[in-house]
Amino acid sequence: MLLAIDTSIGSSAAVVSPSGEVRSSLGVTDTMRHAEVIGELIRDALAAAGIGADGVTAVVAGMGPGPFTGLRIGIAAATAFALGRGVPLLRLVSHDAIAAEWALSGGEGQLTVSTDARRRELYWSRYLVEGGQARRVDGPGLVVPAELELHGEHVAATAVDAGRLGAIAAAGLRDGVEFPALSALYLRSPDVTPSAGPKRVTT
């Protein structure tokens, strides 16, 4: 069984079977409480799927893009859980789950996914969806809303379903694809400027 975790927007945890069946998927939309809810979500997702921690054969982490503080919590949790069980950590772009969801609901053709990056900016990714399969063709990137280029349909998502992320990973495992060694997708440098030296205190 795959345990999937994503905190790129809200918090979500899910258990997905190797065949891609979503056995449980739980989410909290609050974007300010990732550290509080992450433990209970994992515990409850496992319980709802009727498995223990030892039933997990791989952990899937949504690597963003997402606002820094929350994003890190899910990745840290996924990293630690995978270590604890001695199972692989599979890293995916969180937007891929949004595109897969759209494909699953019958969407076809070009798709632009956007999510809130805070500070009046958006994260975006572009997909081509054919035969129910979404393939990322550009992104993820970061833009101000006025500069977001829309190709085909546009989904401005407010949640990422870890169940969908787990299903993508399950399909990838079945197809033998290589999972990328992604780092957290912040897409921004830390806000900081090097020190200009000490300021005078006397005038």
Partner 1 sequence: MNRDAPVVLGIETSCDETGVGIVRGTELLANVISSSMDEHARYGGVVPEVAARAHLEAIGPVITAAVAEAGLSLDDIDAVAVTSGPGLAGALMVGVGAAKALALSLGVPFYAVNHLVGHVGADVLAAEGQPLSYPTVALLVSGGHTSLLLVRDIVDDVELLGETIDDAAGEAFDKVARILGLPYPGGPQIDRVAADGDPRAIRFPRGLSLPKDMAAHRYDFSFSGLKTAVARWVEKRRDAGEPVPVADVAASFREAVADVLLTKALNACADTGVPRLLLGGGVVANARIRDLAHERAAAAGVELRIPPFSLCTDNGAMIAALGAQLIRAGRAPSDLGVPADSTLPVTEVQAGRA
Chain residues in the site for partner 1 (CB under 8 A)? 5, 33-40, 42-43, 46, 52-54, 56, 68-69, 72-86, 183-184, 186, 190-195, 197-198, 200-202
Q: Which of 121, 146, 130, 148 is CA-nearest to residue 138?
A: 148
Q: Please report how many Cα atoms fall inside a 13 Å half-sphere around the Cα of residue 30, on the Cβ side.
A: 9
Q: Element (H or E) spanning 154, and its range? A: strand 153-156
Taking the least distance from each CB to partner 1, the nearer of 146 and 196 is 196
Between the two ends of the chain, the Cα-to-Cα distance in Å is 68
Q: Element (H or E) spanning 140, and its range? A: strand 133-143
Query: Where are the alpha helices (H) located in the chain, listed in sequence order?
Result: 34-48, 68-85, 95-104, 162-175
Taking the least distance from each CB to partner 1, the nearer of 11 and 114 is 11
Taking the least distance from each CB to partner 1, the nearer of 131 and 197 is 197
Taking the least distance from each CB to partner 1, the nearer of 41 and 169 is 41
Tokens of 20: 């891609």
Minimum Å gap between C-beta 41 and partner 1 is 10
Minimum Å gap between C-beta 188 and partner 1 is 9
Minimum Å gap between C-beta 83 and partner 1 is 6
Minimum Å gap between C-beta 118 and partner 1 is 13
